[in-house]
Chains A and B, each alone.
Chain A
Amino acid sequence: MFMSDYNIAIEVDARGSFCPGPMMELIKAIRQAEVGEFLSLLSSEPGTRNDVPAWITKAKHDLVEVIYEDGYDRYIVKKLH
């Protein structure tokens, strides 16, 4: 899918931030979002590739897609509950 296919409610740009910055920004955004909304997290921290999928599984949300951009990753997350 393309980015434009998602109706992103909150985009968090955590590029340049070290762990745990991106993870904590995502968690803050999840708290703010409504159930069913899509969020986008931008991270250049390599550790995020491991941490975000693990947290999404634990928290029972949906990691819809990871898009590998130039120098950073874009995580598309759907809040499920």
Chain B
Amino acid sequence: MQRVVIVGGGFSGINVANKIAMKTKRKDVSIILIEPREDTVYEPFYLYWSFRKDPLKKFHAPIRKVLKKGVQHIPATATKIDTKIKSVELSNGETILYDYLVIATGARMAEEKVGAYDKDNVHHFYLTQATAELQEALRNFNGGTVVISPSTVPYKCPPAPMEFAFMVDRYLRKRKIRDKSTIKFLYPLLRPYPEPRVAEKIQKLYDKRGIEFVEFFNFENVDKENNKIISLEGDEIEYDLLVLIPPHEGHKVIIEAGLGDREGFVPTDRFTLKVKDHDNIYAIGDCTNLPVSKSGAVSHFSAPTVAKNLILEMDGKEPTERYNGFTICFVVTSPRRSLLLFFSYAYPPKKFGLHNLFIYGLVKKAFKIVYFKAILKGYL
């Protein structure tokens, strides 16, 4: 019997585990998923949850309920990976040997590197507790300047900060305090989105809604005393409420195992999804250094490649499956509007629909159900 150990039980880890379980026999392959959390989170919901107090169960699900039979979940943290003896040490004291390893640890939110988050007026919406605090801050907000900015690139879901600006605009209008408020969206580039045609559409929508776009703002630090955010380019912008996307980096266990690049992301072959210089290790999702966005869609479209290549290898065959970088991206421009983008390694975003209510409906109403019932379980 061969053993596949998957480190990290977010969307990528669960999805790959389930896909392998569906295509192999339990007598042939042991699949172990190492993840300290008991719940899995539908992270795209954070954007909406910032503005409304839905119960956690609306976007959390117990991991045991989404795992296929044949996948063993160990609720512990991987503390050490030894690639020479092919083992993973766990926070519960166990050491597990593997034949094949899948790294799916995601990106770590390095909040401490900003050193400015508090319960008052510097927030983000990339973790459950942080989003709960942002909810509270938005409820207490009674007018002023809302500033939204990434802190570093790359970060998960590239359009999310830009979407947040649209959402906060609508929220403040609903509360009838939009006229007492300014919304500023700061971005490292010359335009509010990397792709020029998309950026042009977004700029038009920003102009229509009175959202101020600040170009070439590469975050440097926060001056908490004077409520200012400062850029590498030397600009200073005052805020009453700052929504700052936290720096993303690789997890300590990856860095200490010598499996990370200078930011702790795993150097991964963009086509086979094998970890560079390690024949029996694959990586998937936000922990990789793939030249595509960090998003659930990338994990979804690349998971079949990891699963198929692993199964081929376990059958003694060459891992011939290739991921071509294809992914999609929904850009929410209001609770009822969206854009749909297509990307791959071979081409930048080439198709998009604007203000497509069908897509909105698909994303907003149906997608969360499909996510928990089918995608996470490996059926799609």
Contact = CB atoms under 8 A, between A and B. Distances in A.
Interface of A: 16-21, 23-24, 27, 30-31, 47, 50-51, 54-55, 58-60
A60 to B, nearest CB: 7
Interface string B342-379: 00000010000000000000000000000000000000
Interface stretch (B18-26, B103-111, B135-143, B186-194): B186-194
Contact of B195 (A19, A23, A27, A30): A19
A59 B153 contact: no
B179 to A, nearest CB: 31
Given A47-B196, A54-B216, A59 B190 contact: no
A23 B216 CA distance: 11
B380 interface: no
Contacts of B215: 58
Interface residues of B, number: 15
Interface of B: 153, 188-190, 194-196, 215-216, 218, 232-234, 291, 348
A20 B218 contact: no
A47 B195 CA distance: 9
A55 B190 CA distance: 8
A16 B291 CA distance: 9
A76 to B, nearest CB: 20
A20 B188 CA distance: 9
Contacts, number: 40
A49 to B, nearest CB: 12
A27 B190 contact: no
Contacts of A17: 291
Contacts of B232: 27, 30-31, 59
21 contacts: A16-B291, A19-B189, A19-B194, A19-B348, A20-B189, A24-B188, A27-B188, A27-B218, A30-B232, A31-B232, A47-B196, A51-B189, A51-B190, A54-B190, A54-B216, A55-B190, A58-B233, A59-B216, A59-B233, A59-B234, A60-B234
Contacts of B348: 18-19
Q: Which of B189, B232, B291 neighbours the largest number of chain A CB atoms within 10 Å of its CB? A: B189
B189 A23 contact: yes
A18 B190 contact: no
